[in-house]
Structure 1
């Protein structure tokens, strides 16, 4: 079959190369176009590019190895691409979008957290505190916010972070 004066295999191959190239470019520059996926709702650019890639690859392979009618091949390739696109969306893209962004933390996010003193904090000196987080234990140098000594094993409240040092005060569960 010919379409636009070219064999259908050539059109499938051009679509495959173009969609594969656009997918690679989208991987590198996708952050610039991220709002497009949000505005279009279910028309995610990744899903559209994946559908075209699956469709053109399936059509090219079926045209090359079978002697089926080209319209039947287009239908089979479209159904296979739709199925693969659905699987990609349900089992890869949706779980990735709901996953945690990162297990890392910022120093600013430590403010207001409760921890335990692992090395005593002297009146005008430094000690060490340990704060539990989702990714494990965070151990940071600490100084007393009110310049009072804090003994090892005490619970503390992080008030602020300056130059990588947590400024803490003893934590009292009931502020009475």
Structure 2
């Protein structure tokens, strides 16, 4: 069967397209069907690369093509993909995850707005604005002595704590005491003098 496919450019194109489709369809199974640094999706990507190279060899020098050459190209491609996973993809993924974990804890003390209402012991969603970006995160009600059991949509909140990648929030007005703005006193003496002058004139 493989020999028949390798001898026909049209079959090679079909095999190449089939590997692309299977690689996409098996993406959800990457973490389930895998062996070390090589998973089911990588297998079909390897097949796609191998059929592509084989097609080029068949067009350029058909005399050099054989089943053993195909198997050799397949294993070389497989090793190349494994090395790319080990040296490039996994380290990049690890750095991205660490960055994500670090950034979520930086949301503590930030203001946000409820996008999905939060009920007691249930999870809602809060939108937190950080600079020019908007972050949507799961949120719960922070433990409090004020009897707050629900936070409605569009309510302004303050992120009190981040735990297990969930933001614990309280309504902004209930979590921070309003501090009165200081009244300017630099012109008080002037006001008193004006008031005294008016009384004297009377």
User: TM-score under structure 2 normalisation?
Assistant: 0.44
User: TM-score under structure 1 normalisation?
Assistant: 0.49
**Rg larger in 1 or in 2?**
2
